């Protein structure tokens, strides 16, 4: 599957190829769906939520440009798969904070991350990630894996100057992967990219409280 993503030109960064090759996607799926782990498609993880398709994980991870030692915030833990890939990229010197609003998925992702050996580098928080996670801010990188109506202000505030955020922004049916760059003088640049379809971000800065 990884070879296919490289062949299609979706995966270009050597570091992301290595990280995605190391994390076993089947460990982040309910047992009955593990046989589909290496199909390039989103899969249900319960509670109306999905684990994103590998090509989308590849695309977002490349756009995020994670460096060793980075402190990363993910909004929308889901299965914990994306968080595990981020943990591979930040290494022992970095850390991943990931916020999930569905309590049962907090437990599901923690179990998956523990089984896969990533819980040391990843902290899973139960809460409304549209507000970010102030306690560990500022972040070098922020990734949102649910569809937002707009770029939430708290996330921009919690981004370190020089930092970068990747977030799908749009309506309920179609979004665009959007890259937000915060300059060292704290000015913000927004670049709208590839079309995509995500489950909605809910909460204070999402589609509904
Ligand atoms: N990154 C996940 C993975 O690797 O499995 C996939 C994420 S799934 C496409 C989107 C997730 O965002 C769902 O688990 C959903 O419950 C969560 N979500 C939606 N709104 C949220 C919010 N305001 N705060 C935190 N999580 C939220």
Query: Would you state the pLDDT for residue 167?
Result: 98
Query: Rounded CA gap, 12 and 22, in Å?
Result: 16
Query: Would you state the pLDDT for residue 10?
Result: 84
Query: Would you state the pLDDT for residue 208?
Result: 76
Residue of 21, 52, 79, 187 marked active site: 52
Q: Please, which contacts does 170-174 make with residues 24 or more away whose CB atoms are closer than 8 Å?
A: 172/147, 172/200, 172/207, 173/197
Q: Is 52 a catalytic site residue?
A: yes
Cβ-Cβ contacts under 8 Å for 112 (sequence gap 6 or more)? 27, 28, 79, 80, 81, 84
Give one DSSP letter per residue of 137-155, joined into a string.
--EEEEEE-SBBSS--HHH
Query: Rounded CA gap, 39 and 201, in Å?
Result: 25
Out of 27, 41, 74, 76, mutate this one to test ligand 1's pocket (max ligand atoms within 8 Å of CB): namely 76
Query: 75 CB less than 6 Å from ligand 1?
Result: yes
Query: Would you state the pLDDT for residue 197?
Result: 95
Q: In ligand 1, which atom is closest to the CA atom of 79? A: 5
pLDDT lower than 50: segments of the chain: none
**Pairing mode, strands 71-75 and 139-144:** parallel
Query: Would you state the pLDDT for residue 43?
Result: 97
139: tokens are 């972040």
Query: Would you state the pLDDT for residue 69?
Result: 98
Nearest to 152 by CA among 179, 131, 183: 131
Nearest to 82 by CA among 138, 137, 142: 142
Instruction: Please give the domain boundaries of the chain with CATH numbers for all domains.
Output: 2-196 (3.40.50.150)
- Note the pLDDT tens digit of each residue in 170-179: 998 999 999 9
- Sign of the alpha-carbon dihedral angle for 24, 127, 204, 46: positive
Query: Would you state the pLDDT for residue 209?
Result: 64
Query: Would you state the pLDDT for residue 9?
Result: 87
Give one DSSP letter per residue of 170-203, joined into a string.
E-SS-EEEEEEEE-TTS-EEEEEEEEE--PBP-S
82: tokens are 């994306």
Query: 152 CB less than 6 Å from ligand 1?
Result: no
């Amino acid at each position: 599957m990884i070879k296919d993503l490289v062949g299609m030109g979706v995966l270009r960064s050597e570091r992301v190829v290595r990280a995605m090759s190391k994390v076993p996607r089947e460990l982040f799926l309910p047992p009955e769906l593990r046989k589909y782990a290496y199909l390039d498609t989103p899969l249900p993880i319960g509670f109306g939520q999905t684990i994103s398709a590998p090509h989308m994980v590849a695309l977002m991870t490349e756009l995020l440009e994670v460096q060793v030692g980075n402190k990363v915030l993910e909004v929308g833990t889901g299965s914990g798969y994306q968080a595990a890939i981020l943990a591979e990229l930040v290494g022992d010197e970095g850390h991943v904070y990931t916020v999930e609003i569905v309590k049962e998925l907090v437990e599901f992702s923690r179990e998956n991350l523990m089984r896969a050996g990533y819980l040391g580098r990843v902290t899973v928080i139960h809460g409304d990630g549209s507000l970010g996670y102030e306690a560990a801010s500022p972040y070098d990188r922020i990734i949102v894996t649910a569809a937002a109506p707009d770029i939430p202000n708290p996330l921009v505030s919690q981004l370190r100057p020089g930092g970068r955020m990747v977030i799908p922004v749009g309506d309920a049916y179609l979004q665009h992967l959007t890259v937000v760059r915060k300059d060292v003088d704290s000015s913000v640049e927004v670049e709208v990219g590839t079309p995509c379809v995500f489950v909605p971000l809910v909460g204070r800065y999402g589609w509904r409280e």
